[in-house]
Structure 1
Amino acid sequence: MTDATWSRNEDHLPAALRGLRIPLIASPLFIISVPELVIAQCKAGIIGAFPALNARETEGEPPLLEAWLKQITEELDRHNQENPDRPAAPFAVNQIVHRSNTRLERDLEICTRWKVPVWITSLGARPEVNEAAHSCGGVVLHDVINNRFAKKAIEKGADGLVAVAAGAGGHAGQQSPFALIREIRSWFDGPLALSGAIATGESLLAARAMGADFGYAGSPFIATHEANAQSEYKDMIVESGAEDIVYSSLFTGVWGNYLKKSVSRAGMDPDNLPTADASSMNFGSGSSKPKAWKEIWGSGQGIGAVTEVCSTADLVDRFDREYRAAGARLAAEFTG
């Protein structure tokens, strides 16, 4: 199968979400997603993303978010001028819309001024956030763990959805991706990404086959050279598999997936963890995770496919090869 036969129907997608090398969005990772990683992801042809709250300056300093957006925008513009036949993909900024995020209003103003092309919203759907994004031509994707939240997000003005299914890293839902995507697609025909163990080109193709427009992958990018993660964290991703993941609400008040080895290293039994409720979640300091849990590392169930620490470019190359090979195998089955 030649490249010419690979064409996706993107008519229903906003312009910012069209023309990617492969239909993949890199999820915004707390602490880990920094400009170097985002720039590498976009240059590799996929949407790179970071949480606005990752850009934290000390008191009295100018907003670091402003400096990051300037760095990313200028570097991608430079790349596009030098590579007109291979332009970078757009980037996304994740906004935590939880009421405890005291920076939200300031960060919305900065992102609006820099005309961020893709906005990913989490932990609350608020019309004023969507309006801010739309005022500068941005596209809003809201992450949800069930169909009820999906409908609320669209009703409040989001353009698209990220369906966070079982197996996703960090804050994750419990529903099967098969069920979640089908329920959403029964009424919504706009942009839809699937999160949950998307770590290979085959899983990306499966997401597309189920009806998602994009895969949404985070954990594999932790084990890249550009990721702002400790070397021990990267090595633990490489050494672990799906059985090494624990699902717990203890660390943030919201259920999520974490590496068992990091829990054990903190002196706790990963198989006997107490629970916490959402009232303990507080983003006033930039993260809902108390400092006591800073060495508890998030990860999705797909990391068995991660066998080495590599560059972001090499990782996207792998996704691309696997995606095309899997598609060719299935195409042969249906046309042979």
Structure 2
Amino acid sequence: MSLPPILSNLRIPVIASPMFIVSNPDLVIAQCKAGIVGSFPALNAREKDGEPVQLEAWLTRITEELDRHNQANPDNPAAPFAVNQIVHRSNVRLERDIEICVKHKVPLWITSLGARPEVNEAAHSVGGVVMHDIINNTFAKKAIEKGADGLIAVAAGAGGHAGMQSPFALIQEIRTWFDGPIALSGSIATGRAVLAAQAMGADLGYIGSPFIATEEANAVPEYKDMIVNSGAEDIVYSSLFTGVHGNYLKPSIRNAGLDPDDLEHADASSMNFSQGASKPKAWSAIWGAGQGIGAIHKVQPAAAYIDQLAREYADAKAVLAA
């Protein structure tokens, strides 16, 4: 099966993953202009009572700026953007945010924490493509049965809420029955890793943590520096902070006065998106990251990092072809 048109003409086959707090219009616009899909969680666009709806403002700005770029660069158009909808039952904004995304005809929808047919139908009503993130083959089948167009396979080592399965096991099981678009998430931080994901059977790489260490990212300098100065051994897998297992930076856990090697457990019933994020304020300085950050050695503009990915991807293809 060929990729949907919006995913078939990217500079390199990469979707930038939507990250809580970190992903913002500046980062999304930079990612799209550099040739990869940029994305953000709808819940990142927050307003206080009585203020204009931020999600409306963000989508208007992103759409208008990318349109201007395309008019000025007809031979080098921007990649499409995506909005992540958390469909967990505690997300009280979901219905409103879906209506806004339909109004703005968002081209790519990324759904998480539950597969909902009505969300897929809303996306399809305006020609949108839905990619649903999953951590195992069972959830993958449910997502497609409920109308998702493609899958984001979240394997071991991914930042944020991550699965435990090897990417080899996860992709090869899904490919026994599904020939639609798959993006692979889990420690992908170089162009060579993107090519490896394709060789494994995925269509695209799904990259998040490296973009924390970019100038456009909405992250404090200490967070960006911690990404640069850490590696795979500095990542801990825990359910304590949201109720669902995810990967976090050990130094940030120590800074919060906790022992990263002796953390308590929490269950999924503690997850609550009613305030716009899954982590209670007490854990706001516990910073997520995936195991691929050892390849990140400096803070730089997003476009510079994407240029690096493109060079590495082309070089890896040339080496294999030789």
- Which TM-score applies when normalising by structure 1? 0.95
2:167 equivalent in structure 1:
177
**Aligned with residue 255 of structure 2, among 251, 262, 265:** 265
**Aligned with residue 46 of structure 1, among 12, 27, 36:** 36
The SS at the match of 1:197 is coil
1:14 offset after TM fit, Å?
1.2
1:64 equivalent in structure 2:
54
TM-superposition CA deviations, 1:85-133 (whole Å, max 9, x none): 0000000000000000000000000000000000000000000000000
**Aligned with residue 108 of structure 2, among 115, 118, 124:** 118
TM-superposition CA deviations, 1:58-96 (whole Å, max 9, x none): 011121000000000000000000000000000000000
- RMSD (Å) for aligned C-alpha atoms: 0.5
Which amino acid counterpart does residue 118 of structure 1 have in structure 2?
Answer: L
1:17 offset after TM fit, Å?
1.1
Structure 2: unaligned runs, 5 residues or longer: none
Residues in 2 aligned to 1:94 and 1:303: alpha-carbon distance in whole angstroms: 23
The SS at the match of 1:105 is helix
1:313 equivalent in structure 2:
303
Q: Does 1:89 align with 2:71?
A: no
Q: How does 1:21-170 map to 2 (within 5 A)?
A: 21-170=11-160
1:235 offset after TM fit, Å?
0.2
Which amino acid counterpart does residue 177 of structure 1 have in structure 2?
Answer: P
Residues in 2 aligned to 1:165 and 1:215: alpha-carbon distance in whole angstroms: 12
2:242 equivalent in structure 1:
252
1:18 offset after TM fit, Å?
1.4
1:6 equivalent in structure 2:
none
The SS at the match of 2:91 is coil
The SS at the match of 1:194 is strand
The SS at the match of 1:315 is helix
1:313 offset after TM fit, Å?
0.6
- Which TM-score applies when normalising by structure 2? 1.00
Structure 1: unaligned runs, 5 residues or longer: 1-10
Residues in 2 aligned to 1:196 and 1:313: alpha-carbon distance in whole angstroms: 21
Q: How many percent of aligned residue pairs carry the same amino acid?
A: 76
Q: Does 1:322 align with 2:312?
A: yes
Q: Does 1:13 align with 2:3?
A: yes
TM-superposition CA deviations, 1:44-70 (whole Å, max 9, x none): 000000000000000111210000000
The SS at the match of 2:110 is strand
Residues in 2 aligned to 1:264 and 1:316: alpha-carbon distance in whole angstroms: 32
Residues in 1 aligned to 2:75 and 2:2: alpha-carbon distance in whole angstroms: 24
Which amino acid counterpart does residue 198 of structure 1 have in structure 2?
Answer: I
Residues in 2 aligned to 1:80 and 1:330: alpha-carbon distance in whole angstroms: 34
Residues in 2 aligned to 1:15 and 1:62: alpha-carbon distance in whole angstroms: 34
1:8 equivalent in structure 2:
none
1:240 offset after TM fit, Å?
0.1
1:213 offset after TM fit, Å?
0.4
The SS at the match of 1:285 is coil
Residues in 2 aligned to 1:145 and 1:32: alpha-carbon distance in whole angstroms: 22
Residues in 1 aligned to 2:313 and 2:84: alpha-carbon distance in whole angstroms: 26
Which amino acid counterpart does residue 289 of structure 1 have in structure 2?
Answer: K
**Aligned structure 1 segments of 4 or more residues deviating by more than 3 angstroms:** none
**Aligned with residue 182 of structure 2, among 192, 208, 212:** 192
Which amino acid counterpart does residue 160 of structure 1 have in structure 2?
Answer: G
Which amino acid counterpart does residue 317 of structure 1 have in structure 2?
Answer: D
Q: How does 1:203-222 map to 2 (within 5 A)?
A: 203-222=193-212
Residues in 2 aligned to 1:108 and 1:282: alpha-carbon distance in whole angstroms: 19
The SS at the match of 2:319 is helix
